[in-house]
């Protein structure tokens, strides 16, 4: 049976955000005069553990003996999350090879496409999709804020 709709995530699924991921950690840690790990180490850590930004900072990147550490972890985590959606860093992303062809093929099979993302900044989300020429493929685009603000569920969309 052919699906009626396919729901995609954006970061790490359609778009390679590895450079943005690393650069935001490096830059936010630099602001606090903390040392960032090598890119390969940070990417490996994220993939192996699946930890959140706060967990990675707390467990691996912020020294345990640092004064006011308990206050700094959430502060640095929030700054990094905001940076992650800043246009300066979004420009580092690339569409994975074959994404547009795959989306075209699905649309050609009369399958509706939906994008659901944990991103908060809808304006920069749409701007990036337009820049990458991906917006045209999706009948519905939902970001994190829309789920929280409207108690949105996917079922009515289906």
pLDDT bucket at 148, cuts 50 / 70 / 90: low
Q: What is the pLDDT of residues 24-71, one digit of tens each?
A: 999 999 999 999 889 999 888 888 888 888 888 888 778 788 778 788
This model's pTM is above 0.85: no
Active site residue 11: no
* Catalytic residue from among 9, 16, 19, 93: 9
Q: How would you class 61 by CB atoms within 10 Å of its CB: exposed for 0-12, middle for 13-18, buried for 19 or more?
A: buried
Looking from the CA of 99 toward its CB, the CA atoms found within 13 Å total 22
């Amino acid at each position: 049976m052919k699906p009626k709709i396919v729901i995609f995530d954006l970061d790490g699924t359609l778009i390679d955000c590895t450079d943005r991921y690393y650069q935001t950690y490096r830059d936010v840690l630099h602001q606090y005069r903390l040392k960032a790990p090598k890119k390969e180490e940070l990417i490996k850590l994220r993939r192996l553990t699946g930890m959140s930004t706060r967990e990675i900072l707390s467990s691996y990147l912020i020294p345990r003996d640092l004064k006011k550490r308990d206050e700094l972890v959430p502060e640095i985590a929030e700054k990094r999350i905001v940076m992650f959606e800043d246009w300066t860093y979004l420009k580092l992303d690339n569409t994975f090879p074959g994404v547009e062809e795959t989306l075209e093929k699905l649309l050609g099979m009369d399958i509706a496409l939906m994008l659901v993302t944990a991103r908060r900044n809808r304006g920069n989300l749409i701007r990036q999709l337009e820049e990458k020429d991906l917006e045209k493929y999706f009948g519905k685009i939902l970001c994190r804020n829309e789920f929280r603000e409207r108690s949105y569920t996917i079922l009515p969309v289906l």
